[in-house]
Structures are given as C-alpha cells and as structure tokens.
Structure 1
Amino acid sequence: MTTHGKAATGRSRVGRLRRTAVTGLSFLVLLVSGVGWVYLKLNGGIDTFSADGLSGDRPPGSSMGQNVLVIGSDSRAGGNSELGGGTGAVGRSDTAFLLHVYGDRKHAVAVSIPRDSLVEIPACRLPGGAWTAPKHGAMFNAAFSVGETAEGNPACTQNTVERLTGLRVDHTVVVDFAGFSALTSAVGGVPVCLPHDIHQRDLSPKLPTRGARIFAKGPQTVSGQRALDYVRLRHGIGDGSDLGRIKRQQAFVASLIKEVKSRGMNPTTLLPLADAATDALTVDPGLGSADRLLAFAMSMKNVDLHNTKFVTVPWRYEGARVAIVESDADALWAALKADRTVDGKDASGRRSAERDRTDGDSAPSAAADPLLGKGISLAVYNGTTVTGLAARAADLLRSRGFTVTTAATASRQDHVSTVVEYGPGLRNDAEKAARLLPGARTDASDSAGIRVVLGSSYTEDSSATTGGTAPSAVPPAVADEARSADDDPCADVPQG
C-alpha cells in the first residue's frame, strides 16, 4: 500500500473536516463522463492499496451492473498541505459514494452514505496482519481510520459497505481534494447557486465577526479554491447539517458532470481533466493500471446526464448521529441488486442478452438458472400475516434447485424485510437465495444451515427479469429526492 506524506499544515481541524467532504467528487465526475481513454497518455503511476484486508466472506456479484465505492481522504501529501489537508497522523474520511452502474451501461446512480451513519463495522485487518472484532453501532467514517495509519483503511470501508448493502463492491477508489480543486479549474469553472450572501464566518464559525463577503447571492461560477469553499460550506446555509451539505455536493457534482460533457470528448479538453482527477488517486489492484481504468471508464461512456442520478441512503436522526432506515435502505439495495432504476425501469441489459441468446452468443443469466440452488438446503418461514406466503416462496426456491426442508410460520408475523440467515461458511449459498427474493438481505447467524424469514416486502409476482419475483422498487422517499445530472443547479438546493 502506498503511504502518503506526513507534512504538517497550519490549518485547523475544522477546515480539514469541511474540506474532506469534497474529496470523492473528482473521480465520480471522471467516471460517469466517460473520459477514461485519456489515461493512456498519463505519465507516472497510479497508487494502489493492498487487497489483503478485504473480507473472505463477500457478497457474490448479483447483477449485470457494477458497484464502485468512492472514498474521500484527508491525506496531507502533495498539494493537499497547501489546501488545508488533515493535521492529524491518522487518515480520515468524511465522504463516501457507492456508484452503481447498471447492466445496460446507460444508467448510473450515486448513493451518498452520511459520515455519521451508525453501522456495523465488520472484522478488519490491521497493519500488522491481525483482524479486529466487529463493532456495532459505530460511525461509518470510523471504518477508514481502523488501524490508525496515515493512508487510511479503504479495505475496511469496503468491507463495511458490503456488510451494509449486501452488494459486492467491484472497485474502490480513494481520492483527495487536491485533484478535485484542479479538476474544477481545468473545466473552466462550475455553475452553482446560493440562496443568499455568504461571509467568512459562515465558512469558519470560530471567527469573531462575520467578515467579508465571499459568495454573492444567486447563480455564479466557481473553480479551484472557491469551488472547495463552496462545497465544504455548511454553516450559514440550509439547516447547517452535514445532510444538507450532501445535497449541495450532489448538485455540484451534477453541474460539474454537465460542464464536462458540454466541452466535448476530445484529447485537447479531456487530458487536463484526467491529469487533475488522477493527481491524488489510489485504487484497488483491479484498477491499478491505465489500461484497466481505460477499459472500465469506456464501458460507461453511454451513461447520459438525465440517467445519472444522485440519492442519499434513507436515514433518520438518532441523537447527534444518523440511523439508517433499514426497511427503506433494504429496498434500495434490492433495487440496485436487480438493476432497477430510481424511476422503476429495468436497466439490467438482460433483454439485450436475451436477444443475443437467440443467436447462441450468450449463456442464460444466473438468476434464471434452474439449477441455481442445486445442493443447497434451507428452511422458509412466513414472517407476515399473508396466508400461504411460505409455501409460495418455497415453490419458487425449489424451481431454482434449492432443497426446502421446512415451510412454516415464523414466531413473529411483523417482519418488514425478508432476511436470509446463514451459518458459518454459507454466505454465498444464502446470497443465491436472496437474489430470488425481492427486498431480501443476508445476515450471519450462530445457527447452522440457512433460514429464510419472509417479510412484507416480499410479493409473489412472476417476472422474467428476476427469475420469478418482481424486484422491490426504490422507496418513494428516495426516488422523490433524486437529482439528475441535467437538473438546474439552482433547483432543490438547501436554502437559508
């Protein structure tokens, strides 16, 4: 793993926390803008982090799409020291996106995960090789600091996201804000919008007076340091929360992607953007070379602005922290697993695959494989008041090759989400069952075997796209708040 420099800075911790909130944005913009081919012209290497810390008990790939975790780091290396990088010895992260690129390669959605979300941090590898015990009810951003190293622990954050979502993370990228600042300058500035004038104290609340005006009310274009100041701004606008800042960051990234697209895809304009975006890029070994980044980015060049969405994982306040609303979050993860878009469309690309199979060019999808569950035994319990639900689910599972040993009523009938509980060494088998049950999540158990408890999210509705059941829709609370990359930058931004 590459270790970043430790040059100290004179900036305050408050400045560091605010600025780190923007560090994941530059790679996201590069990725969905389809400019990966210019990596072939880049000089110098791309840093990679070790995969030794990735969990050995990971979710299998469950759709034709791909998931990319983008983490913001407060590294003090290089140009970050001049921009106010972290002053502590431990690498930290305050921003994370899970970017899901759908199987049709025409749709994408970035899901923001609030830094203060209370989650389970699973076992993570320390620098010396030992593994930590799982932590329950921990803040999400604490995962990146496990091991207390300057470069942070991206593998631990990836393990945490996989545990939270039940989705396999195909690639993880760590970026810092020096590249973000350079990117906004390279593109010639980004249109933004402010509800009222912003003064120095809004940016630095410890100042004794409000200071000079740094942003005027209304539409304007920002780049470089001013772009950083805009995106890290939290106080004096909206409700002053990190959640409000996330919405403003999403609006900024949407506007930035729109600006990149408008400049056209040619070497003259794209090379400086790629240089800026990769200035402080650390990736997993699977993306650790220019040609791999090229192939990956080019696979997404057809994702357009309107089909590029931004949402936040469903949440509620729990004291000063953020609790994830599990029933809605489970439905969101299930929709992504099934390649269902925010507005309910099938974006899996399976229809095209079906057409290909008529020419004998493709194999059947795993979800439609009648032998998907061959050799796997499990029990099914109805955790709802709907009569006969366990029997119907059992029939579906048997049709896919599973051996159902029990179909009965659960001890409680108030389950909302469907849970597939699994004993030691059975996670992969449990995930295969979960792929057929809309809204299902997997959960480790001390008991032996696999046990399915059906929740009210499960409905029997045969569908060719999911191998037997209709996928869960994205919850209305999430869909209604979604932003597209082609939206007006002044629309739906937190007001003062």
Structure 2
Amino acid sequence: MSDDSTGSGGRAARRRRRKPPKRRRALAIAAWSAAGVVLLGGAGLGYFYFKLNGNLKTVDIDQALGADRPQNVDNGSMDILVLGSDSRGGANGEYGPDDGGSARSDTAMIVHLYEGHQKASVISIPRDTMTARPACTTTKGGKTDPGGTRKQFNEAYTIGGAACAVKTVEKMSGIRMDHYIEVDFTGFKKIIDTLGGVDVTTSKPIKDDYSHLDLPAGPNKLNGEQALGLVRTRHGVGDGGDLGRIQLQQAFIKALIKQVKSIGLFDNPKRLLDLADTGTKTITTDRALGDVKSLMGFAQSLQGIDAHNMQMITLPVTVDALDSDRVAPLTKQSKLVWDALLADQPVPAEATENSMGDKGTAGGVVQ
C-alpha cells in the first residue's frame, strides 16, 4: 500500500494547512507542560512514597500481646504511648557507654486525643516510678520474664521492648493503647535540625555538663543538639531529679508545637518532604501506623491541636516508701486520671493537688 503523504499531494496539503493562532499554541504548550509536571510530580511522589515506606520500622503490638489487653473503648478518642529511647548503641554512643546494647525508655508519655482531635491531654510517666510489671517475653532469647509487683517502670522496655512497655502501661492504666511511637536520641536531634531549630525563652541560665547544655537567660534558638540537652537535663534546673526534667520536656513540646505552626510546614513542600524523610528514618511505630498513608492521615488529624488546648500533667506520684530515690503512684489520684481518660474527659485538678510531679518550678524556666 502506497503512502500518499510522501508524494507531492501530501506535501501540498501540508503547505496549505494553516498554522494555529499563537494563543492556541500557547495554550497547547501550557497544557502539555502542566501534564508533564503532573506526571513527573506523580513519579516523584511515588518515589518518595516507596522511599518513606522503606524508612519505617514497625512492631506488631497486637500480635505480641494477643487478647490480654483492656477493652477497646470506641468513643472517638485515641490513646498513644510515646517513648523516647535512650539506647547507647550506634550513633547514640556519644551520650554514654553502651551497656551491652540494652536501652530504657528515657521518656514516656500517654497522649490522649479527645473526640474530634481538637484537644489533648498528655500524661508523663516518671521513668523511676515503682509499679507492677506483668510477665513479658524478653527481647533477648524470647524467654518469659515473670515481672513482679514492685519494678521500676522504664525497665519494662529494657526487658521486653515496645510490647512490654505497652503491656505495663495498659496494666497501670486500664486503657488500651491505640498506637505506639518511639523516637531515639539521634532521631530527635535530626528532626529538630530539619525544622530549622526551636525558639524558646529561658527565665534563667541553664548549664548542665552531663547533657552538654549551656544556655543564657532570654531568647534562644535551639538546634537539635541543644534541644536534646534541654529535654535530657536533670542537673541544670529544679531539684536535679526526673520530675523537673519532665516539666522541661512538657514546656519544650509546647514550644515545638508553636514552632511547627509558625513556620507553615504544610506550605513548604521541600521542608515537609525533608522532615518526612528524617522522621520516618528515626521513629518506630506500631504496625497500624507502619505505612506512609496511615502515618500521614494520623499526622493530619492532629493539625487542629495547638499548645493552648493541650493539657500536660505528670502521673500523680509521691516518694516511694522503700527508696527515696524512686517515686510511687498515688493510688486514688492516679485513678482519677485514668477514669477521666476512659470517659474522654479532662483530667480534674484534684488529681494533681497532692502530687510531687507538677509542684516544681522547672517548668517555668522555659517559655
């Protein structure tokens, strides 16, 4: 079959075809350019999606704990156990010698999101709280540790990792944890640096050689190293104990929330992707949050929460009767806390009236 387009008639027809007006050509170029951007952008997002998914580390809490858990109360609220790990292995070695690869939960917070996710309560659990610990499968050798009625809280993570920490919190509170999130030292620093630092104002100088922190009084923009020093310091403020450090951590979290709101993170795609890359490399989540889509949906559900509608307290505690260097939960007051969260209600003021946890002045050091 012949191809007439190669003959003179075809060439004449092409010569007679009128050129499209400039406006139409411009629109066509714009349309194809837009299509190209969409395709390239989609490919880029697809790349980042798989990359970020590959970054995530997860633990299957549901499989590890099975049916031995509190009832899942479906009232629109959500409870998340957030742990800061103090492993001295790998990049965290600069904060002290590696103690055989073990780690403890340096920071533990139960974040309760109220129905509608417009406000939250955060309950900090002192790491040296003496409490009952249930039997847990150990992370080394898979044996069963019998637990006991008098164990230090942060040893649960050392004994049985995330699953044992969740199980201990659930036994303490009677509240089922919907999710689990863990951040380590190095990851925390990188997240703060990716955000561009966090602005805090200190009412007096803070100097702590143990956490390498040296801040003058007044406005300070903390980089990752300084922010980590602040949330870890025990000797620079208050009575030098863990309760003062918890107050600093709570004050810093509020400053961090304000920082995220002020920089318009969701309006800066590059910074958002950088933060997503850093964050997914440095956190461990439960299986239900272990993919980018679920994690992004969870993060977006928190956008309505601001520092002013976040209630932050320490689990009501007093000096432990057998060890003055440890604390013990106040039974009646702690029950007020757990009952309030189960009912999706604010924690009543009387829950903390007789507690050591929120009586110090360390929280007023950072604004």
Give the TM-score taking structure 2 as reference length.
0.76
SS in 1 for 2:237: coil
1:296 aligned partner, one-letter code: F
1:180-226 superposed Cα distances (whole Å, 9 cap, x missing partner): 11122122221223343344xx3239xxxxxx993212231111212
1:59 aligned partner, one-letter code: P
Partners of 1:179 and 1:194 in 2: CA distance:
24
SS in 2 for 1:174: strand
Partners of 2:285 and 2:194 in 1: CA distance:
22
Aligned-CA RMSD value: 3.0
> Is 1:329 aligned to residue 334 of structure 2?
yes
Aligned pairs for 1:352-371 (under 5 A) are: none
* Partners of 2:55 and 2:277 within 8 A in 1: no
2:345 aligned partner, one-letter code: R
Equivalent residue for 1:142? 155
Give the alignment partner of residue 352 of structure 2, picking from 477, 481, 492.
Answer: 477
Count of aligned pairs between the two proteins: 309
Partners of 2:254 and 2:77 in 1: CA distance:
21
Equivalent residue for 2:26? none
Equivalent residue for 2:175? 167
SS in 2 for 1:293: helix
Q: 1:42 to 1:79 in 2, by over 3 A?
A: farther
SS in 2 for 1:196: coil
User: How far has the Cα of 1:243 moved from its partner?
Assistant: 0.3
SS in 2 for 1:236: coil
Equivalent residue for 2:343? 338
Partners of 1:247 and 1:67 in 2: CA distance:
21
1:252-277 superposed Cα distances (whole Å, 9 cap, x missing partner): 11101110111112223322222332
Comparing both structures, which one devotes a greater share of its residues to helix? Answer: 2
Partners of 1:477 and 1:105 in 2: CA distance:
24
Partners of 2:256 and 2:218 in 1: CA distance:
17
Partners of 2:210 and 2:135 in 1: CA distance:
37
Give the alignment partner of residue 60 of structure 1, picking from 68, 71, 76.
Answer: 71
1:278-330 superposed Cα distances (whole Å, 9 cap, x missing partner): 22211111111111212222222222332122211111112111111111111
Equivalent residue for 1:313? 315
* Partners of 2:316 and 2:357 within 8 A in 1: no
* Partners of 2:193 and 2:224 within 8 A in 1: yes
1:153-178 superposed Cα distances (whole Å, 9 cap, x missing partner): 11000000000001000111221011
Which structure 2 residue ranges, 5 or more long, are not aligned? Answer: 1-47
Equivalent residue for 1:362? none
> Is 1:493 aligned to residue 364 of structure 2?
yes
Aligned pairs for 1:151-230 (under 5 A) are: 153-199=161-207, 202-204=208-210, 214-230=214-230
Partners of 2:213 and 2:173 in 1: CA distance:
42
Q: 1:133 to 1:275 in 2, by over 3 A?
A: same
Higher deviation after alignment, 72-81 or 182-191? 72-81
Q: 1:77 to 1:252 in 2, by over 3 A?
A: same
1:47-103 superposed Cα distances (whole Å, 9 cap, x missing partner): 112434325321112232111101111235554345657443212222111111111
Partners of 2:275 and 2:167 in 1: CA distance:
30
Q: 1:106 to 1:481 in 2, by over 3 A?
A: farther
> Is 1:242 aligned to residue 242 of structure 2?
yes
1:131 aligned partner, one-letter code: T
1:337-376 superposed Cα distances (whole Å, 9 cap, x missing partner): 111124xxxxxxxxxxxxxxxxxxxxxxxxxxxxxxxxxx
Q: 1:307 to 1:491 in 2, by over 3 A?
A: farther
SS in 2 for 1:279: helix
Partners of 1:236 and 1:130 in 2: CA distance:
40
SS in 2 for 1:493: helix
SS in 1 for 2:144: coil
Give the alignment partner of residue 279 of structure 1, picking from 265, 278, 281.
Answer: 281
* Partners of 2:315 and 2:357 within 8 A in 1: no
Equivalent residue for 1:108? 120
* Partners of 2:248 and 2:362 within 8 A in 1: no
Partners of 1:279 and 1:479 in 2: CA distance:
41
* Partners of 1:121 and 1:136 within 8 A in 2: yes
Equivalent residue for 1:90? 102
Equivalent residue for 2:12? none
1:301 aligned partner, one-letter code: Q
* Partners of 1:54 and 1:155 within 8 A in 2: yes
Partners of 2:258 and 2:350 in 1: CA distance:
27
User: How far has the Cα of 1:478 moved from its partner?
Assistant: 6.3
Q: 1:94 to 1:185 in 2, by over 3 A?
A: same
2:129 aligned partner, one-letter code: S
Partners of 2:351 and 2:157 in 1: CA distance:
31
Aligned sequence identity (%): 39
Partners of 2:213 and 2:288 in 1: CA distance:
46
Q: 1:213 to 1:276 in 2, by over 3 A?
A: closer
Q: 1:122 to 1:137 in 2, by over 3 A?
A: same
SS in 2 for 1:309: strand
Q: 1:478 to 1:296 in 2, by over 3 A?
A: farther
SS in 1 for 2:115: coil
Give the TM-score taking structure 1 as reference length.
0.57
Aligned pairs for 1:15-26 (under 5 A) are: none
Equivalent residue for 1:33? none
Equivalent residue for 1:263? 263
